[in-house]
Amino acid sequence: MGHSALLRGRSFAKAGAGAVLAGLIMCAAIVLLLGLPPASQAVGGKPGKPTALEPHGDIASTTPAFTWARAKGAAKYELRVHQGDTRLLAKVGVKGLAYRSQAPLPENVDLTWQVRARNVRGAEPWSESLDFRVAPDSLKDITSFGFIDPLAKGVIDNAKHEIGLLVPKGTDLTDLVAKFTTNGASVDVFDDIQSSGVTANDFALPVPYTVTARDGSTQDYWVYVFTLGVGDAYQGGLIAAKADQSVGTAWSTVDGVYVKCTGGAAYLCYRLQEGGYDDWFLPSQAELDKLYINREAIGGFSGNAYWSSSDNYDAELNSATAAWVQSFTSGIQSHQGKFKLFCVRAVRQF
């Protein structure tokens, strides 16, 4: 073969190789355009079967979160919920290991659910079915209640199903908005559905808040709102007694034989009967400070020091021979020997 013929043969060979290479590139492009998997992704085959985890048994939520264990080789998941032969929910393309139902499921019926995995090679058969039932509960408590304007926190008596609030004197009670929480399904006032922090009501008279549980049972909570200023009478008594019980007495006097209190600051408060009440007591250190802060509104205080019920324990001596007092001139608190003589003003809780 001549030299020129050999060159022509090599040129044809190169041209043929180039054509083959171009063809392979074209095939690869077609594969990519068609979305076919590269060989590295196709080797594993179909994904494994996932394991359904929750929910199962009786549940409270009508929009439960479905969860499952990861399946080997899975790219996405599908789940379905049935009531008998009727499919209630079908969801495809879930990338994670959980999905929460967006629509409420029916209550008090037997339901089943399954999940399966999918990748580019196809889908594995469905997981084992889990049975569950949405069982409505009977919870119908108001768990917190208050006002934002004016700021007031309600005291809830779950035994009596009553809620009491104190607001400043002069507050317009006819248009107050309550902020509340409940474990029930809904709350209404005279059949008007209430929205926490939004719905206004007239609290000039007691208001019944009716809580409906998910099982349909109801419970009324009566809300009472009181206006009160410092120094105002409350249920026949006062925040503080009208006058001092003593202008100078010891913290306590004790009968050494029977270890019985026979006099002193706490004893005077305990024995007090005023405004039809007999549950007066000597204020604590913190309560005494509140009296001092509001001394002008309450009235009748001297500029001397007043006893508190808080004694001062000496760890080294293992004894409490002193108690805290507060000057109603300077407001300074200090501990003094219990034998000293100071003023007494009783208080009662409301």
CATH number of 51-134: 2.60.40.10
Distance, CA of 324 to CA of 322 (rounded, Å): 7
Q: Are strands 218-228 and 162-168 parallel, antiparallel or unpaired?
A: parallel
Q: If you write DSSP's letter for every residue of 247-275 in order, what string do you get?
A: EEE-S-EEETTTTEEEESHHHHHHH--BT
Do residues 225 and 201 make contact, with C-beta atoms less than 8 angstroms apart? no
Question: Which range is least confidently modeled, 223-227, 237-241, 283-287?
Answer: 237-241
CATH of 142-228, picked from 1.10.4080.10, 2.50.20.10, 3.90.1150.10, 2.60.40.2340, is 2.60.40.2340
Closest CA to 179 of 204, 220, 143: 143
> Do the beta carbons of residue 112 and residue 82 sit within 8 Å?
yes
At 179-190, the pLDDT tens digits run 999 999 899 999
Where in the chain are the domains?
16-42, 51-134, 142-228, 233-344
Looking at the chain, the whole-number percentage of residues with pLDDT higher than 90 is: 59
Report whether 61 contacts 104 (CB < 8 A). no
Q: Confidence class of residue 202 from pLDDT cuts 50, 70 and 90?
A: very high
Mean pLDDT of 127-139: 94
pLDDT, tens only, 306-347: 999 998 877 776 777 889 999 999 999 998 988 899 999 999
Tell me, yes or no, if the two domains 51-134 and 142-228 fold the same way: yes
Centre a 10 Å sphere on the Cβ of residue 213 and count the other Cβ atoms it contains.
19
Q: In Å, how far are 34, 57, 66, 134 from 88, measured between CA atoms?
A: 34, 18, 14, 14
User: If residue 97 lies in a helix (H) or strand (E), which one and from where to where?
Assistant: none
Q: How confident is the model at residue 226 (pLDDT cuts 50, 70, 90)?
A: confident
What confidence tens digit (pLDDT) does each residue in 290-301 have?
888 888 878 899
Per-residue pLDDT tens over the stretch 70-115: 999 999 999 999 999 999 999 999 999 999 999 999 999 999 999 9
Amino acid letter at 314?
D
Mean pLDDT of 212-217: 90
Among the listed residues 191, 181, 59, 37, the one whose alpha carbon sits nearest the alpha carbon of residue 122: 37
pTM of the model: 0.43
